[in-house]
Structure 1
């Protein structure tokens, strides 16, 4: 039997991520989390540039890390978290300020290790970066109870809908 993701859970996850200080600092938004895929947007501007006037690799890394994590998220049981073990980022092209889109894709979900990848494109569809993330599955880390505590009692909906 295939579990069904609770849309209220995903909605709150998106809201919570997008309100995080780190996402706001980077002008980054989590737009989609679904079975095996995710999407993250960033408004690339001057604050993301290195001293040479190019996008800093850390901006790409943050987008790829987030998109890879979220591409695996729906495959995991309730109250199971992930920690990035290894993040590989390949910078493939120059870009100008504007909207960037990262698309995450699940490669493999295991009991203890997951593998995902992500690509980043500009608004014209030009491929700018590609990356892979190896993620450690952590039982009890990033649980609904922990999120509720951080959100000052605002209950986080269950990840899956009850079986019919």
Structure 2
């Protein structure tokens, strides 16, 4: 099995966490590994619906993010991904504090990947769960395209 380059992971985390949508929702991808992604969100007023609970769209966005990046390390260098679908089950609400989203790869195939994500509070209470399928692409939504779009020069190689 290939070994991930820690310098690449550090650089990719910096890159994606500066993305405009990630900034808008104040979500931070904290960890990437083979088949795993962790996203943290410190809740603010902007995350809440008019009733004072976490908006369902926030659940969908953070689950989509964790599920998507959970398969990243399993893919070849500079291969792209496109989310094909997203199923989200909102199980409970939360109004404040920190929430933790853990994405896990269920299967990384030749063209389709399947992953899931869970959202919990800091006490481990399950707030939401989701699954997603992603299409592996060549030359579309690749890391090199993200590097260019974000104004970076390059990233270290993904694998050692």
| TM-score, normalized by the shorter chain, greater than 0.5 | yes
- Kept in 2: contact 1:79–1:141 (CA 8 A): no
What are the superposed Cα offsets for residues 46-95 of structure 1, whole Å, 9 maximum, x if unpaired? Answer: 10111222111111111111111111111101111111100001001121
- Kept in 2: contact 1:79–1:142 (CA 8 A): no
Q: 1:54 aligned to 2:53?
A: yes
Q: TM-score, normalised by structure 2?
A: 0.94
Q: Number of aligned pairs?
A: 160
Query: By how many angstroms is 1:145 displaced?
Result: 3.5
Gaps of 5+ in 1: none
Q: Distance in 1 between matches of 2:32 and 2:144?
A: 21
Q: Distance in 2 between matches of 1:8 and 1:137?
A: 24
1:65 — aligned with what?
A: 64
Q: Distance in 1 between matches of 2:113 and 2:57?
A: 22
Q: 1:80 aligned to 2:79?
A: yes
Q: Distance in 2 between matches of 1:67 and 1:144?
A: 16
Deviates more, 1:142-151 or 1:61-70: 142-151
Query: By how many angstroms is 1:149 displaced?
Result: 2.4
Q: Distance in 1 between matches of 2:45 and 2:142?
A: 36
User: Which residues in structure 2 correspond to 1:12-161 (within 5 Å)?
Assistant: 12-161=11-160
Q: TM-score, normalised by structure 1?
A: 0.92
Q: What secondary structure, in the 3-state scheme, does the structure 1 residue paired with 2:61 have?
A: helix
Compared CA separation, residues 145 and 70, structure 1 to 2 (3 A) = closer
Q: Distance in 1 between matches of 2:107 and 2:156?
A: 26
Compared CA separation, residues 29 and 17, structure 1 to 2 (3 A) = same
Gaps of 5+ in 2: none
Q: Distance in 2 between matches of 1:104 and 1:139?
A: 23
Deviates more, 1:31-40 or 1:43-52: 43-52
Query: By how many angstroms is 1:153 displaced?
Result: 5.0
What are the superposed Cα offsets for residues 76-116 of structure 1, whole Å, 9 maximum, x if unpaired? Answer: 01111111100001001121211000001010111111000
